[in-house]
Structures are given as C-alpha cells and as structure tokens.
Structure 1
C-alpha cells in the first residue's frame, strides 16, 4: 500500500441502494465477464477526481493494487476499497461528492449490463433501438426532468488548453449562469471544468435552486479525463457513440471552446447530424468561441470544415471571438427558438426525439489498424457520411492518444494510417500539426507527445 493510498469501507450514495446477487457477482467476479475490470477502471478514475493527468495507463500502473468489492450486507450495499487514491478522502472519510460519483458509476455500468445489453427488448443494431437505449440510460440516471424549459448548454472543448482559454471558459460559464442556463460537459478538466466553475458563481448570485452541472463520460475516456470536482450529476455511457448521442439528445444548445482531436471529433459528429436533410429545420444553436488568442484556432477549424463538408456546414454554427456576454445572449436566444419549436412540434423539452441520427453515427467504431486504413474519406460521399468517417478518424486518434486499448495497439502494431482525398488529407495533416504545436494533444508536464497516426494522401 503506497503512502497516498487509503483502504476503507463505505456505503454508496442514495442513488444506489440495492442490487441482485447476480449483479453483485458480475461486478466482483472477473471470470463472469469484463464488468468487474470495467468497474475497477472507472472507479479508480472517479477516486482520482481533481488530479491532473491524462495518461490512463499511468494511472492504472500507479494504483495497480487498487481493488473495489461490492458487498451485500444487512443494510443493503457496502463498498470495500483497498489502496484507493488518498486525495479522495479527508481525515479518512471519503469526500461526499466523490462518493456520489462512485455510486453513479456502479449504477450506470450495472444498468447497461443487466437491463440493456443482450436484453431481447433492446435492439442495439437499429437506429431507433440505440436511441431508446440512450433514453433508458438517461432516465435511469434521473437526468430527464420534465416540465422545465430548455436550459441545458453542452460545453465542448479540450482538457489541455492555455490559461487564457481556461479563464475565458469560466467567464462564458458565468454569463450563461447569470441567464439561469445549466451546464453539461464531458466532465473532465480544462474547457470541461471552466464553464461549470463560472456558472456556480452566477447561479449563487441569482439564487438558482435547481442548478445542474452534468458530466457525461464513457469507460474508455474516463481515466484520461477524470470527473472534475464540480460535476454534480455523472452519467457513464457504454461507448463514445452513445456518449455523443446523449449530449445532443439531452442538451438544447452547444458551445465549443478550443480543444484538440476529441473536440474535432465532437464537432464533426454534430455537423454530420445537423447536415442531414431531415434536420434542416430543427433549431440547435451552436457557437464556437474563445479568447482573442484563439482566433487563429477557429479560423483553421472553419477552413477545414468548409473544405471537407462545404460552405453549407458553416451555416449551422456561429463563431464569436472574445465576447462572453454575446455568447450567452445568443445562446439564450437560441434556446428560446428551441422551446418554441418543441412546443409547436409536440417534442419533449427533456429529450430531443425529433433530431434524426443515422445508424453510422451510432454503431460503435473500434479503431483497429485495418479499420482506420479502410475509412473512406472522399468528397464524393454524401456530406453526412463523409462527416461520419472523419469523426471516426479523429476518434481513432483519441484512442491512440489516451485510451489503454488504443495505446496498446499503437505499441504493438505501429501508427494508425489515415488515407483519403489529397486536399482533405493535406488540410487534416495541417490541422493535426497545429494541435501538436499548440500542446492540445496531451496535458503539458509529461513526456513529449508522440503521434499515433500517419497521414497518407
């Protein structure tokens, strides 16, 4: 046991009271599948909440002797932790917010495993079936709150950003909070923490009682982007595709701050959906914003989008530089359009049912060397299909950068190869090179970034 480790017993938070014997066995017995290892990795990430670092393998290696056992006792459930990160405790007692996040991890993992995956009533191969599964997971997490006007703003952006960019995200969060808007992020540090931090002050000033700071993660990324301390509602979706769908089904508008490949993946996912003809009239405000120092970043993102997806794609977003007040005002105006549209079309405020998401954006993409090399990146494709393949390319780079399975594949088989139409490949290479140059691929302080990809034109 290391000096910064704690071993203890505790009871989960109220959101998690009972499990069946079969569920407990699945959570603790590795011979019954991968759920026990999944729980261990996600729990360790939550217990590491607030600490800097985006190397999932390094975290697992540092706490290689960490164990978590879910036990049935006469009062319900008890968790036994061995060699857990000491930063999660104060005077030997777990921090209450971390206890809640830990309970949310168990809740979400066991619900998907027991009630959705392999269940005859859930078809995870059809588009409607996947959307229903996302709905069920969000409902089970008690994140779908009816009879409340649209107010949830998804904030995307990188975990490795400059101090000026981070401070700017806080001011934007503050301005949105003054307008009583709530925040959803990917739950990690950087641009995922800043808007929540700003909103907390504004909500306190406005005496907002039902404030919400929702973090949506998935098992592959949570160790690299441990939940920040402000997250009050954690939702762990089973894969990146369902995580992305949860953002756009639950959120009412999106603000994009500077980021790296993960943010580019999110942008392409969103535009690929919004550019589908069926979504042409669905209001969904999208604002890209950053401080004056980030103007060149968004110019390059805008050029890449126009080159690859066409000028029509730029009609679905607005770029605002160095004006947090305008960002908040424009988002509030956009959410009012969303409210009116959903009333007129009898769509729920709490889940965006009318947004059409094609199956190619929903089926999990496992980035192997063969699949990455086979991606078709061709301007002759329908725009939303090209966006889907570009999204997969960025998803593979994210995996190679920070996800344990992706990092292992790069070590064993070398770099991912991404190939396609020459002009798009040149622009993609330039975009990725700028991310590397601006330290957007990994948090500073560790070893120098080594690309996990090779662009072939």
Structure 2
C-alpha cells in the first residue's frame, strides 16, 4: 500500500482499461444482497481489465468491491477523509490509500483520478456523490460516463422524483441523457465502456438554474 498521489489515472492506462470510481455504501446495517452486488462489481471490473477508485473503507460495500477487485488482479485506490479513517476503517490493502483533509477534497480527488463513475445503492453520502458528478455532466463540465446500477429498485423513487421534476420544469429532460440506469452488472460495464459525447450546456441552463 502506498500513500499520496500519482498525478493522473490510477494505473488503468497500463492495461488499456478505465479507472472506474464506484460510489457505494459503508453502512454495516444493509441487506447482504447489496454487499454481494459490490463484490460482483469488483470481480467484473477486474475481469474487464479496469482499475478501481473507491472511498477507501474496508467495511460494507466499499470493502467488498475493493477486495473482489484485488482478488481478480485489479489495482485499487482508496480515498478517505482523515476524519473517517477510524470510523469507516481505512482499507490498508489498497495499492494506494489517499487520506484527504475533508469530504470535499475526497470527492475532488476521486473525480480527478477517475474515467467513469458507477453508482451502487447507498445513503446520503452516495447520493451526494451521484448528484455532483451527474450535475457536472449535465452542465458539460465533463464527459465521463455516469451509470446507476440498481438491481433491487432502491433508486426507483429517485428516478420517479427526477422524472417529476423534469415534467414540472424544474429540470430539463436532458438530465437523463447524462446518465445510464441498469439492473445488470454486465450492462453497467458495457455502458461505462461506451464513448460518451459531451453535453453542451446552453445559456438558459445557467440563467434559469435548470439541470
């Protein structure tokens, strides 16, 4: 395990794969099915020759995805805030463990090191991470793929909420052009590997603050 930054991608470039950032739960109270899903994601990531960027914890889904990725031979990078090292229990087995000053720095570091984002079921922390990269993609600030993997329907109320917001004019329909939504691990990676066009934001997007 090494600490610090490498100034760019996590090492996926050596194998031609992507540096995939996985946002997921660190809670120990969730159903085992979600932890198993994270492990399946880590195994598939490794099988396809990608590397992992995650939240750097060894508990729950965070730990499961990293352990499975390493078991398959993938490089893993964990990024964890200093204040959560003892709370989430940092995963010292990562090939690289980056300790940041706070949550904002954590998200920025994960973003910088990633080529694509995969979102698994999670709580408010996962939702915060999702909305940040989703919003930036809608506004044309990056063209990295963003995919939600939700085989058990945890995020169905979210999809309904966002559809309703678009129907009422609070959000533009193109928010759904900026994200993939699937129940299949294999399809999730197919979507991540697909080249994504940059979404061009219009002046109205900013003037009306509609995403």
**What TM-score bracket applies, with the shorter chain setting the length?**
0.7 to 0.9
Asked whether the 8 Å contact 2:137–2:143 carries over to 1, the reply is no
Shift of 1:238: 2.1
Match of 1:180 among 33, 49, 56: 49
List aligned pairs for 1:114-263, cutoff 5 A: 138-139=5-6, 148=14, 149-160=16-27, 161-188=30-57, 189-203=59-73, 211-263=74-126
* CA displacement 1:71-113 (0-9 Å, x = unmatched): xxxxxxxxxxxxxxxxxxxxxxxxxx5xx6xxx3xxx6xxxxx
Gaps of 5+ in 1: 1-96, 109-137, 204-210, 342-353, 355-379, 385-457
- Distance apart, 1:147 and its partner CA: 6.0
CA distance in 1, matches of 2:188, 2:181: 9
Is residue 147 of structure 2 the alignment partner of residue 284 of structure 1? no
Structure-2 change in CA distance of 1:146 and 1:264 (3 Å) = closer
Q: For residue 212 of structure 1, report the CA deviation from its aligned partner.
A: 1.3
* Structure 2: distance between partners of 1:381 and 1:219: 37
Residue in 1 that maps onto 2:204: none
Aligned equivalents of 1:144, 1:169: Cα separation in 2: 20
| Counterparts of 2:210 and 2:83, CA distance in 1 | 28
Counterparts in 2 of 1:227 and 1:314: CA distance versus 1, 3 Å? same
Maintained 8 Å contact 1:213/1:233: yes
Contact kept, 8 Å, 1:220 with 1:239, in 2: the verdict is yes
Structure possessing the higher relative contact order (Cα contacts under 8 Å, 6 or more residues apart)? 2
Give unpaired runs (5+ residues) of structure 2.
Answer: 199-206
Distance 2:178 2:56 in 1: 25
What is the CA–CA distance in structure 2 between the aligned matches of 1:216 and 1:223, rounded to whole Å?
Answer: 14
Q: CA deviation at 1:258?
A: 0.6
Q: CA deviation at 1:195?
A: 1.8
C-alpha displacement of 1:171: 1.0
Taking structure 2 as the reference length, the TM-score comes to 0.79
1:242–1:255 Cα change, 3 Å:
same
What SS does the aligned partner of 2:25 have?
coil
Alignment RMSD, CA only?
A: 2.9
User: Residues 359-409 of structure 1, C-alpha deviation per residue, up to 9 Å, x if partnerless?
Assistant: xxxxxxxxxxxxxxxxxxxxx95136xxxxxxxxxxxxxxxxxxxxxxxxx
Structure having the higher Rg: 1
Q: Does 1:329 align with 2:190?
A: yes
CA distance in 1, matches of 2:17, 2:132: 22
Deviation (angstroms), 1:268: 1.3
Q: What is the SS of the residue equivalent to 1:173?
A: helix
TM-score between both structures, scaled by the size of structure 1: 0.39
- 1:37-76 equivalences in 2 (<5 Å): none
Shift of 1:303: 2.6
Contact 2:78 2:96 in 1 (8 A): yes
Aligned residue pairs total: 195
Match of 2:174 in 1: 312
Structure 1 residues 222 and 311, CA gap change in structure 2 (3 angstroms): farther
2:177, 2:12 → 1: CA distance?
31
Give me the whole-angstrom Cα distance separating, in 1, the residues matched to 2:12 and 2:75: 14
